[in-house]
Amino acid sequence: MRIRISLILAVSAAVVSGVMLFSVSQKVQTAESEQRRLSAAVEGERETIRVLNAEWDYLNRPDRVEDLAREYLRMKPPQAGQMESDAAVLPEAPPSVMIGRKPELEAQPAALVAQPIAPVPARKPERGGQDFRRVLDEIAPAAGGGR
């Protein structure tokens, strides 16, 4: 009778241990799957950041910005007669509160003053193994450039 009770306890302990091992194994596999999914998402975001940085660098080239300023703003390089050699002759700077504001807007309630709107990207960059040259070729026509 004693052998049977110890045998039942041993078998029960083995079954409980097996169930716990299976449960822990499933949890580990689930966690590893989630970790792989998150790692892939992080790598995708890094690729998006690389593409956006490449696009930013391409669009903000000094020669391109200069050409755009000349074309749309009709800006010209400063002439020698426009330069001041002494900063003391320059007018005093306005208070920082007034920079960029029109005096007539100061008297209006804040609700009536138009608030700036954050720019929205035209499109979300595609994910995938795009190389730098392909990205530049895609954005060159939109930027007014090209080969």
pLDDT digits over 6-50, tens only?
899 999 999 999 999 999 999 999 999 999 999 999 999 999 999
Contact 52, 123 (CB under 8 A): no
CA distances from 53 to 46, 49, 59 (A): 10, 6, 10
Contact 147, 140 (CB under 8 A): yes
Domain spans, the chain: 38-76+128-147
User: 131 burial class (0-12, 13-18, 19+ CB within 10 angstroms)?
Assistant: exposed
Higher-scoring residue by pLDDT: 34, 70: 34
pTM of the entire predicted model: 0.42
Rounded CA gap, 10 and 4, in Å?
10
